[in-house]
Structure 1
């Protein structure tokens, strides 16, 4: 298989680049909102779909549904990546968001356990599985799409901006959660208001489908078609027979990304700030929103830094900063912590979480263009299916042993990521690639 590719010669971002980046980032924001809004309402959904006198079991059941979404990612991701490598990136980029919008809307109108009994949690799990399959194609597809549209010297900025848009979906979810908490009483939320974010999410998804009609196929895939180098058989076979090192690099980097997002951004407000340290729920959510905003800013910042000084130096600075800021934040938590201190420390931590942008930057470069979508999607989604699904349960167990569970876990994966950044394939990219 040839590993050469032709790439547009521009070194600066054109109006077309900016349009593509803007529409892709906005679509990513809306789709990832659909996927993560679930976690902001776990404490509400638990009693409604998994009634139990044991609060811990209720939380485990609800987090299990959250994990089901992650476990479904590999199947959806691998299938969509196959067609992304054989018939085009754009088609799968549009399909993934359509498949996300439908189950999100359905969750918003699902009957509860009180209304239809055991069928309620079953339907919730099925919808979550569909969401997981859709996000499995969206994330790698979006990164490949932008990587193959962005000029070489702005690669980090392009992927960083897209990733910022995707993490913006978490921020959007957090803001809507705050709005729901401030607008409705607990009784009103339990009765009907919890449905609003999911119904909105379905609407957001269909808007994204419309927006992506205006995107063009990537120059790299067009070149592969013109040169008759598009994969004709099963790209996934080539991935696992010839590119195991790239898969390993991607899997380890994905472990780091999933840990940072799941533990610091998604679990901390409820499972750590609320359950462990008894910090006010509204304050926790507001601090989380600011931290997520800083995460989105950090993704662009660290992407630009990688363009300037390279991935290895960026990894050293960013991940060491993540270790230090996580210790400062989690070791300083207590019920009487001041709001300004909590928010400041959480914001600094959120900014360093932005270093996770190195995962797509390194991983898209590690695979040749003919099988790039399949390689990235299979390695990323298999790793996220394992680590993203296990991390919530593992973190809750670890919290029962030490209040600094998050610090130990984050430090471990950060050191792994730094080690990976020294591997030549990680910081140079595929050895025969001249453009990506």
Structure 2
């Protein structure tokens, strides 16, 4: 621990007070609305691919290119996150917290107004790609910024709870995205969806983004950063330079943990509802219903996983969730593809819900991330590590699984089991006090 960081307490409270709860609530609400903007794209992907690519293009190629546009939002994150985090460590957490949500709201609103391929030709998907880049830059600052912000506000013995609450807020945004997508499919005919209804979730997202901006005006700068500023403890060196020089091993460790967490989340929560109908005969509208339940279970898993990490440490909780969650998902895929679960709905819902709950590792990663770097480079360290991991996972996973199921229906199961195994090994390696702690 650096001298500067040792002199700066994480909080003056020993238990969660009203101010802590307020900060957690406002941060989680803002994160929920921003995550909705970022993620609603994937649930409308089957409509987007029909509107933004030529009709005579093979379906698998349209799907691949649509998920490629989705992936660019992840691939841009290291660059966008590096810029946002640099200023977050130098000028303050709150300022960047506000900027990130504005950069998300405007592109989301514009996506809802975009002309389609039939009107503008190749310019339509190119503009869609550009707006996804803007969304990726915005969300690159949101995740690390929120993690740093809440961790520096709450008592250190409740950082896991704070990370879990924040992750739960993101899942609420995801739940909103699933619910709005389901409503769009349920209340509008296919012709209406392709004509105008697909725009409504994006327009709603843009409006909600500005609501989130107003909500966050009520937040105050973190006590840790205020004390750093008063002591002029910010380093004159580039924060990312300090991370790469003095905290390289820590950054790589967190990067691997975030990579596993993100790949599992994308595979189990985001892509399985989209891809399972193509490999197991499950209806698309039926999977949207199931998705709502899975997102609720994932939200609970994030919150409870974060709380358990406060009690049992992050590595132990991480290993338990990885091992049990991987097993549940493998059984789900095995029985579904064999046709067993299609006749036993309660078992399908139960196994999928348990998989979402146990593979909800986001809260645990947030708690680990906040503790692993000193205050003066915390934003940059968390941003560099997690955004690099999310770029890889978001770029690799959709393309890999979309291509993989073209050759084998077992692709998703094998991928998830491999990730759960790697995650378990990593958790075991982090046991015994090997994880650096600055909070």
TM range (shorter): over 0.9
Match of 1:287 in 2: 290
In structure 2, C-alpha distance between the alignment counterparts of 1:105 and 1:129, rounded to whole Å: 14
Root-mean-square deviation (Å): 1.6
SS, match of residue 109 in structure 1? coil
CA contact (8 A) 2:164 2:362 kept: no
1:21-420 matches, cutoff 5 A: 21-53=24-56, 54-271=58-275, 273-334=276-337, 336-420=342-426
Quote how far apart the aligned CAs of 1:415 are. Answer: 2.4
Q: Residues 120-169 of structure 1, C-alpha deviation per residue, up to 9 Å, x if partnerless?
A: 11110000000000000001100111111111111111110111101221
In structure 2, C-alpha distance between the alignment counterparts of 1:98 and 1:46, rounded to whole Å: 27
Quote how far apart the aligned CAs of 1:355 are. Answer: 2.8
In structure 2, C-alpha distance between the alignment counterparts of 1:70 and 1:252, rounded to whole Å: 16
In structure 2, C-alpha distance between the alignment counterparts of 1:337 and 1:428, rounded to whole Å: 47
CA contact (8 A) 1:287 1:342 kept: no
Match of 1:12 in 2: 15
Segment drifting more, 352-361 vs 30-39: 352-361
The two structures have a TM-score, normalised by structure 2, of 0.95
Distance 1:218 1:423, change over 3 A: farther
Quote how far apart the aligned CAs of 1:405 are. Answer: 2.0
Q: Residues 174-217 of structure 1, C-alpha deviation per residue, up to 9 Å, x if partnerless?
A: 01111111100111001100000000000010000000000011
SS, match of residue 206 in structure 1? helix
Quote how far apart the aligned CAs of 1:342 are. Answer: 2.2
In structure 2, C-alpha distance between the alignment counterparts of 1:303 and 1:358, rounded to whole Å: 5
Quote how far apart the aligned CAs of 1:420 are. Answer: 2.5
Segment drifting more, 243-252 vs 197-206: 243-252
SS, match of residue 235 in structure 2? coil
Name structure 1 gaps, 5 residues minimum: none
In structure 2, C-alpha distance between the alignment counterparts of 1:142 and 1:161, rounded to whole Å: 11
In structure 2, C-alpha distance between the alignment counterparts of 1:167 and 1:427, rounded to whole Å: 30
The total of aligned residue pairs comes to 432
In structure 1, C-alpha distance between the alignment counterparts of 2:371 and 2:120, rounded to whole Å: 49
Distance 1:405 1:356, change over 3 A: farther
Runs of 4+ residues over 3 Å off in structure 1: 334-339, 422-431
SS, match of residue 285 in structure 1? helix
CA contact (8 A) 1:252 1:416 kept: no
SS, match of residue 65 in structure 1? helix
Quote how far apart the aligned CAs of 1:7 are. Answer: 2.7
Segment drifting more, 278-287 vs 194-203: 278-287
Quote how far apart the aligned CAs of 1:428 are. Answer: 6.3
CA contact (8 A) 1:160 1:302 kept: yes
Quote how far apart the aligned CAs of 1:424 are. Answer: 5.1
SS, match of residue 347 in structure 2? helix
In structure 2, C-alpha distance between the alignment counterparts of 1:215 and 1:337, rounded to whole Å: 50
In structure 2, C-alpha distance between the alignment counterparts of 1:247 and 1:412, rounded to whole Å: 22
In structure 2, C-alpha distance between the alignment counterparts of 1:425 and 1:309, rounded to whole Å: 11
SS, match of residue 332 in structure 1? helix
CA contact (8 A) 1:246 1:425 kept: no
